[in-house]
Structure 1
Amino acid sequence: MAANRIIMLADCQSFYASVEKAERPEQKHLPLVVAGDPERRSGIILAACPVAKKYGVTTAERLGDSLAKCPELIVAKPRMQLYIDVSLMITTIYQSFTDIVEPYSIDEQFLDVTSTLHLYGTAEQLAQTIQARVLAETGIYTRFGIASNKILAKMACDNFAKKNSSGIYTMGSQQMKEELWKLPIARMFMVGSRMNRHLNMMGLETIGDLASTPLEQLKQMMRRKFGRDSDINAELYWRIANGIDDSPVTTTLAQTVPKSIGHMMTLPQDYSSASEIKIVLLELTELVAQRCRSKGYMGYVVSVSCMGADYERPNGFHRQMKMLDPTNITNRIYDTAVKLLMKHWNGLPVRKVGVSLSGLCADDEYQLSLFDLNREKMMALEKATDAIKSKYGDSSIFRAVSITQPGQALLRSKLIGGHFK
């Protein structure tokens, strides 16, 4: 079945930077980056346009280093909501060519065009058609890896489509053996720098070296290196190297109960008093409880973690406590979280705080208690505040402590993924 499929991995070039350039046509040929804090000329490069990359600017480096390489660099403040909106527009374009589209990240999506390809010609012709339409409607240039499965399509895009003039590359079995297998093993999907070093030490230098190693032999090699529980990883890497992947392109996520729902926040400065930490703890608890309610879950186990800023001499704690009954009511979870804080915090400054709820179950059935007569009233209040936030935004209603100096909820309501909307 896999050999007959036609799968594409569509990737948007320098996505955040491309969106900014599409909004500023006069800067089309100028070096531009999207970075964390343009006003202070500091932060990390989130995206660099191809012009900026010619100066040696790279993603994830410090803005100061980029400016040293290219003083005339244009620095754009991230606008995450705009990037999400453009990504959804591009998804809609893909869906006009096939109804089987699976987002892989904000700038990458898998397309299964097996059933609709006959309407558009060859796979390369279809990729060119989609590429031209996305560019015309959004100003974003897309690259396409084409193969019989998702793994090969991903590696075709990353290693070849991104580097050729057309932005399109088809990888069949012949191309896999003649082109992909020649590449250093570091270029294989799922191989990071650490695993690359381990594989090199095992004598595996290229993707082809790994692909041609008999699976049982590879398992033995990895057992010697990583221990006896490494057979699954050995088979995973062997299958990737050989381009074996039967997973379908899926349009919906599997509806499985998550193990936990939580949120962690890095604070703008050290918090040294219990009263300050409790404010952040309450805000995080409210966020976690709101997410649980939106997904239809309650939980038994509350976990709290607090960490200091000195990573060379780490301090802090991560502890959990099981409640008698499951809940998704903010105040109930918060009461348990405070107990954990006061019992395990050693009084040293805190820079990172996290709260999570686990032991999850559906919230449509629960045990009534004669000693908890306010539960229904509290749940109704929570649902009312959730509805207000859903309609008018997270900052439309908030707790009074959030306007105090330690509060972070109002700032967080302006962010997506840690960056301003």
Structure 2
Amino acid sequence: MSGSHLIDLTPFRHSPAFARLWIGSTLSGLGGQLTIMAVMLHMYALTSSTFAVSMIAVAGLVPMVLAGIYGGMLADAFDRRTVALTAATVTFASTLLLAVLAWTQQEAVWSLYVLSVVNAAANSIVMASRSAIIPRLLPRELLPSAAALQGVTVGIMVMAGPALAGVLVATTGYAWTYSIDVILMLSLFLGLWTLPAMRPEGETVRPGLESLKDGIAFLKRAPNIRLQFVMDIVAMTFGQPLALFPALGMVLLGGGPVTAGILTAAIAAGAFLSSLFSGRVGGYRWHGRGIARAVEVYGAAIGAFALALVLAAVGVGAPNAVDADHANIAMIVAACVALAVGGAADNVSAIYRSTMLQAAVPDAVRGRLQGIFIVVVAGGPRIGALYAGTLATITTLWFPPLMGGILIIAIVATLARLYPGFRSYDAENPVP
């Protein structure tokens, strides 16, 4: 176990290629978060509907699932660098078209849906390929440190991106916000282009049904990997309140788009800080136990976030009505603290989940398992958006996170108790 609580930067020194890839991914990810938040705000401005905002995520779910799975098969059959570059080009083109439509004032509800779907699908292929590349750049003992550095990436892009998007949309409009993403995305090409060729090791399987069957057959023999997928789906389905943020900024907490950005940034701030002080996290051997405990803390944090919304609903902290121009500062702060704790817990879980996947899965099937992992990580929040948006529409804005926090704690505690092998997973002897 590391003697320092601060993040381990050894992966940068060990592999300049990893350092370039990290820089490119961080800058492009920051731009991507600008677009994600801008599209949500744009949709709410066009429709005034939380359900319509949640459907942005839902509409892309099936294409993203298919792209992630097929992208994983491509990464196990061809040069992973080439696969990632090709998919990144599609992501770039869809973002550029968003900017062009905004500049020419030709944007519409359907175009926001279609381009968001294309962007999400292509990006899932990029992430699957890139994640499969990292274990080829670093030795196994540095994978937890690399995962913690990925937490810094997520923290930077999600903490700064949505907040900056809220400010940019409020002050300059949607066209400039999308355009900045186009510029930042160029860094991703630099990080990928400078990599060496990354063909998979061992026997390769041509993309198609047999490749998919082979990957699924491995997953059936990998109970620890399966259970971490299930726990993450539970957390993201019942504990992902992102689709509620535009409405919270307008009608419950006040402050409009800026509040929506700040709430999203609070989650990333927690992830960022937990990564900065992750020096000893990677040295903890029992990754299964760490995942379960972190997800339970995440559920408790989401429940605390809901309690802040309940207090706001009954008028605590705001003697006068709130709207886009008048905010309940006290309850926004309370909500942000809860979300930051949730972000930190989710990041600790992500460090262990990523390390388990990269260390325990052979290179020959790593792309396909990374593809499924990306589907879980990105698909869970989209199901969560449907859960939160639908339940908020028929009840109230604070009910989905309150019920979700309770469900997360109960389900994950039950799963951990039922599967003792997961609790005893040892990072020094990784078994999928």
Same fold by TM (over 0.5)?
no
Whose strand proportion is higher, 1 or 2?
1
Task: Give TM class, smaller chain.
Answer: under 0.3
Q: Which has the higher contact order (CA 8 A, sep 6+)?
A: 2
Whose helix proportion is higher, 1 or 2?
2
What is the TM-score when the length of structure 1 is the normalising length?
0.23
Larger Rg: 1 or 2?
1
